[in-house]
Structure 1
Amino acid sequence: MSATARKSAPLPEDIRARKGGVPLVSLTAYTTPMAQAMDAHCDVVLVGDSVGMVLHGLPSTLGVTLEMMILHGRAVKRGLSKAMMVVDMPFGSYEESPQQAFRNAARVMAETGAAAVKLEGGVTMQETIRFLVQRGIPVMGHVGLTPQSINTLGGYKVQGRGAAADALIADARAVSEAGAFAVVLEKVPAALADRVTADLPIPTIGIGASAGCDGQILVVDDMLGAFTAFKPKFVKRYAALGHQAEAAIEEYAAEVRAREFPGEEHLFAEEAPEKKT
């Protein structure tokens, strides 16, 4: 069932039921206009902590706060009616204990209207995911490259190669067994992503994983070419909005300095024009 055929947003159980079906379409969003643009085309819209890098100029996602996620979650929710909204739990808001995770996740859901939250980690987060799910908070998992752990992972490296494959599989299984309704696989070898997808009863959503995953997600600013600081290998740019915006701003600046803008058509007369009857 595609997003364009729906009259209302799916629930987490609807997403779980898509396992092995038509691939799930997901993108990140941080603003109302962007959410409106993708609402009819996406199954899941993620308010990602990538907002820290693409909108706030942070060097990583580690500086993102709960308040930032709630602010952007509210904005995105205003633009959605057909797609399901999931909000990232930011670094430091859930790792301390299941109780901390519940308090903060409950706040996120209550204040944004999200249908679910997403958190990073596998085996180490199994107890926390189970605790949340048992208390009515749907969870999307995230294993493989977990950006909030880049300092311990040694950077944005491919995860699960060689002997590390078994640990990644264990992480994915732990997330599923804890009750998550779906799991993001980030930056893992394609063959391993296919193994995990075949192994799990819940949908896998790939980002730098495999076309065989049950769905795909990208950061919207990456795929639109709006964020140009760097381009990950797994990103396909479907537009070049960053360069187009810069060219438009350059043209505007030139016209202002040459007094070509504003033109007569942009100005107002001393008296209001008479309305035609």
Structure 2
Amino acid sequence: MNPSVKIVVLSLPTAEARRSQMTAMLSKALRGWQYFDAHTSLKCPNLHYDSTELRRHFGRHLSPPELAVCSSHAAILGEFIDRNQADYILVLEDDVIFDTDFPLDQFCAFCADNGLEYVRLFGKHYAKAVRLGFFYDRSIVRFTTSPAGAQAYLMSRIAARRFLDSYRSIRATVDLAMDSFWITQLPIYSIFPYPIIERFSPTSIPMPPNSVDVRGWENLAWQSTRAVNKARKILTNVKLRKLDERMRQRQWDFRQVGQVDYLQRRER
């Protein structure tokens, strides 16, 4: 049997237009998906926030909407672990377009068979990656640095627990924390081209105008943390080369999507 997958769409209850678009898109192709009412403040009880600690580690404070996003994603993953309803969770934010013909169940089985615990289905920016093989005609890659964004990702129960264990205190935005593989010990896998893209629409999570707001000793602490993290990232990427090579040896061959594959997907 294929591993089970839970699909959760993160959305504000007041975002009626976005919800209408998501409902129309997902209801035609996916079963059992649900909305999670996004937090509007830091409500997740297992998540600690100290502004001084955050500035030392991240170089700036987070806006209230950014904190709410951290809280929402942590709460979604916490519920996923606690309720034990599925093997994987697909988390979508409500500003995405999903290729509803993409064989999600088959891809989850592929991930489970090959030990892909954390898989990005979208990234906001170009990021350096190593190519490992194929899922049909799409490349399977491992990012060596963060492409940013938390609009769409797939996580196993192992990955969700490992991430939450590393994110008890907010030291970065949730997307960058998820991608801190030298801390979480979760390589950042992805599939390209992505089966999900972000809509061209105004953001509901404006960033502060200044990317750095630390001075004096806080700036020294932040620069020191950055240097340590960069060194750990480089070292971890070196260690992951052996795993990359083992995955390449699995011979995930390129193959085009055939008419039979497409029809089987449409019949489900």
Measured against the shorter chain, the TM-score band is under 0.3
Which has the larger Rg?
1
Higher strand share: 2
Choose between structure 1 and 2 for higher RCO, CA contacts under 8 A separated by at least 6 residues: 2
TM-score (norm 2): 0.23
TM-score (norm 1): 0.22
